[in-house]
Structure formats: structure tokens, C-alpha cells
Amino acid sequence: MKIIHTVSGLEEALQQVRRQGESIGFVPTMGALHEGHATLVRQSVAENDFTVVSLFVNPTQFNNPEDLRLYPRTPERDHRLLERLGADLLFTPSVEEIYPEPDRRVFDFGLLDKVMEGRFRPGHFNGVAQVVSKLFRFVQPDKAYFGEKDFQQLVIVREMVRQLQLPVEIVGVPIVREPSGLAMSSRNARLSAQERENAAQIYRVLHDSLALKEACAPVKLAEWVVGEINKVPGLRVEYYEIVDGYSLQPVSTWEESGRSVGCVAVFCGAVRLIDHISYR
């Protein structure tokens, strides 16, 4: 596996790949890799001739400086994992390499980034769009792989690709969970053993809510989910919204959406976790 730190080095390496007519798969990450990331890389390796993984903690998508400072970084372990998974190239740029000057672009995603994560993390998705669009320009992949755990992000990346008319297929990969049901996340590394046990109750409540769908309107079901999660010691719900899986707007009846998705953000101690469940 090649490890490249500069945009010029990346573009030079990929020119040779394209000359050989090979397809390129791309997995953008912020490092602290876990089995969820590994699933993305395995799928890219299976579906493409050449797989690029980026490892870059993007400062423009953190609206909380403390969250950026505490974000886990495990580069040596990440490198070893990617070698084992069969990635062909790892791109690990510096902040100065990605942002030689401030990126002042402002994206308009309509209502997609005004709800849920966008409401509580202003500027987050604009930062995501800045870095992902830059990485797509550098790598020019045929396919790019994103975890469905970050459900709202996946919808917004697809919208960004549509707006910019980029020739890349966005592949969403289902959530990978720990045996307890907890959605895998780099932030899980910051949880204590007791907090992990508490956090596993998030998915238990989401899963239990499926059985109540027929008896409850979305608003009532959302109230039940929030109440049940907040009963767990150490957990505090920031939001739980049942939305249309395409527009991301709240639904008031099950009939008004062909795909209803319940999205949640929960503080477990000081660590903020997200998850979702599909009601179909």
C-alpha cells in the first residue's frame, strides 16, 4: 500500500492507474478506523480495481473546537488495518495541503441541512461538502463509499454530487454494529465500559419502537423513544426525529412517506453519538 501525503503525489499516482484503464474506488475517512470503516474498504476492494482511502480530520466540519481536539487519532493502527484489508493507496494530507487558503464556498442544500444535525451543528455539512468535493476532485473516483450510520450526511453528499454534476457513484453501506447493538463509531473509543453498556440501550429502544409503529403516529412514537432513552443513566437525547428518507423533513403520518427514518443524537456522558432506524 502506497502512503501519499500531497495532492500532487496523489494525482501523479492515480494518473498511472487511469492510463491502465482501472476503476477507482474511494473511501474518505477521518481515521480512528473500526469495523464499520473496514466494511467500506472491503466493498471497495471487491468492486474496483484500485482502492484509495483518505485519512484526514477535517477542521471545517467541527463547530465545536473541543470535539476536534478530542477526536481520536490512531494513524499507525489505521495503516496496519488498511494494509490487511487490501487498500492500494492511503492519502494522509495535512490541513495546509487541503486548505492552502481558506475555503469560502457556501453550499445551498435547501432544507436538507437545516434539520437534525444541521440544526444542532451549524456549518457542519458545509464543511463536509467542502472537504468531500475537494477529495473527489483530487481522486476522481468511479465509486465512493459512505456508511449509512451518518444518514443525513449520505443524503447531503448525494445532493452535492447532483448539484456539482460529479461523475461518481455514491454507495451507501449499512450500519455495522457491535454485538451489543451499539453502532460502530470512532467516538466509541472515548466511552468507558459502563458508558458503552449504557449506549447500547440506544439501539435497543430504536429496535423496540418498530413494534409500536402501527399503534402510534410518528410524533407520539418519537416522544416514546425520547422518554425511554432518557430513562437510561448517563444518556440524554439531543433530538429524535422521524423524517422522510429523501427530503429529511419530519413526517406527521406514516402514509406521507414511502421511507420513514428515525434519526437520533444522544449524549452519553460527554460523548455525542448518532444512530437511526428505518420504519419503511
Cα–Cα dist 124/186, whole Å: 17
Q: Say what the alpha-carbon torsion angle 23, 27, 33, 36 is, to the nearest 10 degrees.
A: -90
Contact by Cβ (8 Å): 221, 209: yes
Catalytic residue, chosen from 5, 34, 37, 124, is: 37
Q: Say what the alpha-carbon torsion angle 85, 89, 94, 95 is, to the nearest 10 degrees.
A: -80
Residue bearing cell 427530503: 247
Contact by Cβ (8 Å): 160, 129: yes
5 among known catalytic residues: no
Cα–Cα dist 113/159, whole Å: 11
DSSP string, 38-89: HHHHHHHHHH-SEEEEEE---GGG-S-HHHHHHS---HHHHHHHHHHHT-SE
Q: How many CB atoms lie within 10 A of CB 67?
A: 15
The sign of the torsion formed by the CA atoms of 141, 129, 135, 4 equals: negative
Active centre residues (catalytic): 37
